Amino acid sequence: MARILVADDQPLIRHSIKQTLAELGHEVTEAVNGVEALKKIETNKPDLIILDVMMPEMNGQQVCRRIKSDPESKSLPVILMTAPWTSMDEWLALETSSADRFLAKPFDSAALKKLIEELLA
């Protein structure tokens, strides 16, 4: 299956996502902030990235812009997640950071699985 990087500063969220992805047989790597996520992308390029928008040191939108501006990683699919959610958050995630998809927290496991299947197809 796929290698997926999950970057979120909340351990409970990372654990919940990891459990959901493990059910699908994916290998999950975790990062606690955007800086750590970028380092892990360099050392072990994932097949898909899930980023929390609000993280310390570097937020998910900043990380996404860095990923999408680098020729080596720009094709990596990125899902941005945030809570609380508004339609403006979704627009910002998709338009200003070039994320591939947006998912509100708390997330629905079925919706997350569907997004991952779509992006990895």
C-alpha span between 48 and 118 (Å, rounded): 11
In whole numbers, what is the pLDDT of the chain averaged over residues? 90
Looking only at the bridges linking them, the beta strands covering 78-82 and 3-7 are unpaired
pLDDT of 95 reads: 67
Domain of 28, in residue numbers: 3-120
Q: Which amino acid is residue 67, in one-letter code?
A: I
Task: Write the pLDDT tens digit of every residue in 82-102.
Answer: 876 666 666 666 666 788 998
Contact status, residue 52 vs residue 24, Cβ threshold 8 Å: no
CATH number for the domain harbouring residue 57: 3.40.50.2300
Task: Write the pLDDT tens digit of every residue in 44-85.
Answer: 999 999 999 989 889 999 999 999 999 999 999 999 998 766
Task: Report the domain count for the chain.
Answer: 1
pLDDT of 105 reads: 83
Whether the predicted pLDDT of 39 surpasses 70: yes
